[in-house]
Structure 1
């Protein structure tokens, strides 16, 4: 079991999950504000915020592929309880935001840079005008790719960032790594319109025992039930174009890591089979060799969904994130 960080925090726990979600989390969620803005190509991008008049610091959460801010209600509750306002958006093509193709379950994007441009618009038009004293980023998986690219392009907005299992590389077998991107490009060219990459299918709720994401059955079942209750949130496998666009963006994160100026805490699960953990080491090296502040924390035994894992993994992840943010707060005083 991972050692507990020095500060104690009172987080939501699995034995009380149902009561927490139906009680205080549901009450908080009723107080949310939702809105939308026009992203690239005039697409509607949905966002949510949870705010309190006496909060002067904000965490901007960037979720991963196929996700929605609706999925992160428990996390938002834990963040909000620690005195932070919360803002989050749903990426184009998923969640409550506009889909890009007729097949609403196809995970597609024309240019990965569009995710970053949408996020930049969100920051400039929704978050920044609120005038917070401190801004913090929490980004998961594909959101970590978007967040890394934003930090490279806009190094002065956030005070610090936590990247949870960021997609700085996709976990592939060794022989597939050099050919995956060109293969996906060829497949896309052969397709008459955007379609699933080879081996990918529409949304399918894998049984808990077959899932590679988390070992927390109660959390896993909750977000699968959410997608059944709100089927408009469902997204399945990626398109061939998304695959090579995503791989190119992950590589760009590493190539331009030297431009990141804020302290970064990168948290990875040792048993993650979704992203390439070895790419985190390359990202870390690229940042630190240029004088950047990057720390990697490994949660031994944890899978990809660090923010939806069993308590013995999730609690240290959240505590490490808050310790990282508080260190930035202390240094700014």
Structure 2
């Protein structure tokens, strides 16, 4: 038998996607543990874990806006196959967690820091008590904002961090950049109750051909079908308050980047039109200038949802992620 090269990884692939999701990934999902805790303002926050694969190492996944851990079943399968326990949380206002307003499809938050506070509670009450020797973070998009703020405030918990298309800025036209946040604040003041930001609407399943998230049709369609089968997961556009709160949080990520001590791998899709890739460069420079360790890996041709992209993008993304984690593992020995 031919010896495998270092860090050889075998991931789920598009030609076998249906077979994987209906077979071993579905069987794994049946073994999940789900729980909940009380977050800020007594909101119920849901979480999931898949354990029994490693007593020493765990990956904590932080999903993005409009997402749920239900969407990440393929990724969880891939990570557990590589020998990691996995934990994930659904942010307040989305997924299986409590909503903040009567319109259950409005993406709303009162204070962006509440996401971070909830995540801190999750770490302290669910993950840390398990006693793992090493903890790794894999955070996507808005989850990357939450994860970045967490490691800036709590630099000693995670041994290694991977940020997938983190929201360190929102992609806007040049003329909109200086006015987007103050405009959202004004609009919020004019609204009698939390409502959609201008141009934003409730959930609707955007056709694959018009989407700016992923070029993998099977993965994109699976997530849309999931939301039809579990309509309680549906989230539409953000509120005006979410917009300016999100922009302020993204700015804070960059301003406080000097506080990060864990090694960071930042994954960036060159064709991302959701987050501001130029903000990644500022963040990268700030971390390294302060003596930290941040590497940017640009995936040329990939769109925003790097973890749900075509195999030609997703496979090297996952390989780079796990290689980054294994570097921290080897350095701890």
TM range (shorter): over 0.9
Which residue is 2:287 aligned to? 287
Distance of 1:55 and 1:36 partners within structure 2? 22
Which residue is 1:267 aligned to? 267
> 1:133-154 CA deviation, whole Å, 9 max, x = no partner?
1100000000000000000000
1:101-250 aligned within 5 A = 101-250=101-250
Deviation, 1:23, is 0.3
User: TM-score under structure 2 normalisation?
Assistant: 0.98
Deviation, 1:8, is 2.4
Which residue is 2:331 aligned to? 331
- Partner secondary structure for residue 35 of structure 1: strand
> 1:77-129 CA deviation, whole Å, 9 max, x = no partner?
00000110000000000000000000000000000000000000000000000
CA contact (8 A) 2:53 2:84 kept: no
Distance of 1:233 and 1:86 partners within structure 2? 21
User: TM-score under structure 1 normalisation?
Assistant: 0.98
Distance of 1:286 and 1:226 partners within structure 2? 39
CA contact (8 A) 1:266 1:297 kept: yes
CA contact (8 A) 1:55 1:83 kept: no
Matched, 1:30 2:33: no
- Partner secondary structure for residue 47 of structure 2: strand
CA contact (8 A) 2:53 2:83 kept: no
CA contact (8 A) 1:60 1:137 kept: yes
Distance of 1:9 and 1:306 partners within structure 2? 17
Distance of 1:133 and 1:81 partners within structure 2? 19
Deviation, 1:56, is 1.5
Where has structure 1 moved over 4 Å in runs of 4 or more?
none
- Partner secondary structure for residue 60 of structure 1: strand
Which residue is 2:252 aligned to? 252
1:49-88 aligned within 5 A = 49-52=49-52, 54-88=54-88
Distance of 1:257 and 1:125 partners within structure 2? 26
CA contact (8 A) 2:58 2:136 kept: yes
Kindly tell me the number of residue pairs found equivalent between the two proteins: 329
Matched, 1:97 2:97: yes
> 1:37-84 CA deviation, whole Å, 9 max, x = no partner?
000000000000000064310000000000000000000000000110
Does the C-alpha gap of structure 1 residues 256 and 62 become closer, same or farther in structure 2, counting only changes over 3 Å?
same
State the superposition RMSD in angstroms. Answer: 0.9
- Partner secondary structure for residue 177 of structure 1: coil
CA contact (8 A) 1:62 1:88 kept: yes
